[in-house]
Structure 1
Amino acid sequence: MLYVVTGPPAGGKSSWIEARAKARDIVIDLDRITRALTGPGAPQWNHDPIASRVALRARYAAIDEAVKHRDEVDIYLIHTMPSSTWRTRYQRLGAQIVTVDPGEHVVRERVAAMRSSAMNRVVTRWYRHYRGGAPRPAAAQASRDW
């Protein structure tokens, strides 16, 4: 089974997976991949742009290979804000999409305690566009007065 775990930064996605995944299961988490690809002392979050780019490519390769084995092992994939294209792909693969969201107040407290303040922009974006697990359409905008 493929589980796609979404939710805001610091929302508990990794903890949700740790409570369920077994040793043989596959866990695809961009933070874990980036940590695996960087040297000692690299930050746990907010990685260097080059390391992040390399890790993202590794994540895509991991997804492509892992989904071939979803009938043999469970796959847990963290995807904070999947686009409609990714959601469609996951649905075609028979994924169960799980949203982990302890609430905006809790998330903001965790970000303040554990993450860079720059992560607040991502939190705001998630709550504005993805609350409830699915991307929300952009708000209608008035046409320009030409």
Structure 2
Amino acid sequence: MLYVVTGPPASGKSSWIQSHAKARDIVIDLDLITRALSGPGAPTWNQDPVQLRVAHRARYAAIDEAVQVRDQVDVYLIHTMPSAKALARYKRLDARIVAVDPGKAIVMQRIEAMRDPDMKRVATRWYNSRAKLSPQLDRPPARQW
């Protein structure tokens, strides 16, 4: 099964996966990939453009391979804000879409405390895009749709 986990930055997507995935499952998380490809001392949430570019390429390759084995193991993919094209692809792959959202106030507080301030723009974009889909933003921490 393919699980596509969406949500704004600092919403708990990685934590949700940690509480659901098993050791043999595949987890594709851009933050973890970037960290694995970064040198010693790089920040935990590294936004360096060069490292991110390489990490994105590695992520695309991992997705292409992982969807081929989703009948053998569960695949957990973090995709913060999938485009309509990406969602259509995930639908064709019979993915379960899981939205993790503890609420905008909590997300902004977490970004302030733990992340690059630029992530506030990403979070705002996520909430604005969700508002267009549905005026109801107060949702349970994880929701499948």
Contact 1:111/1:119 (8 A) holds in 2: yes
Matched, 1:47 2:47: yes
Q: Give the partner amino acid of 2:36.
A: A
Q: What TM-score, normalized by structure 2, do the two folds share?
A: 0.89
Contact 2:67/2:75 (8 A) holds in 1: yes
Contact 1:104/1:127 (8 A) holds in 2: yes
Matches within 5 A, 1:27-38: 27-38=27-38
Per-residue CA deviation, residues 82-134 of structure 1 (Å, 9 max, x unaligned), is 00000000000010000000000110110011011111111110100135xxx
- Give the structure 2 partner of residue 13 of structure 1: 13
**Structure 2 spans left out of the alignment, 5+ residues:** 134-145
Greater share of helix: 2
Identity %: 68
Q: Give the partner amino acid of 1:87.
A: L
Q: Matched residues in 2 for 1:68 and 1:14: separation?
A: 22
Matches within 5 A, 1:128-139: 128-130=128-130, 136=133
Q: Matched residues in 2 for 1:52 and 1:117: separation?
A: 17
Q: Matched residues in 2 for 1:129 and 1:47: separation?
A: 22
RMSD: 1.3
Q: What TM-score, normalized by structure 1, do the two folds share?
A: 0.88
Q: Matched residues in 1 for 2:64 and 2:123: separation?
A: 28
C-alpha displacement at 1:46, in angstroms? 3.9
Structure 1 runs (4+) deviating above 4 angstroms are none
- Give the structure 1 partner of residue 103 of structure 2: 103
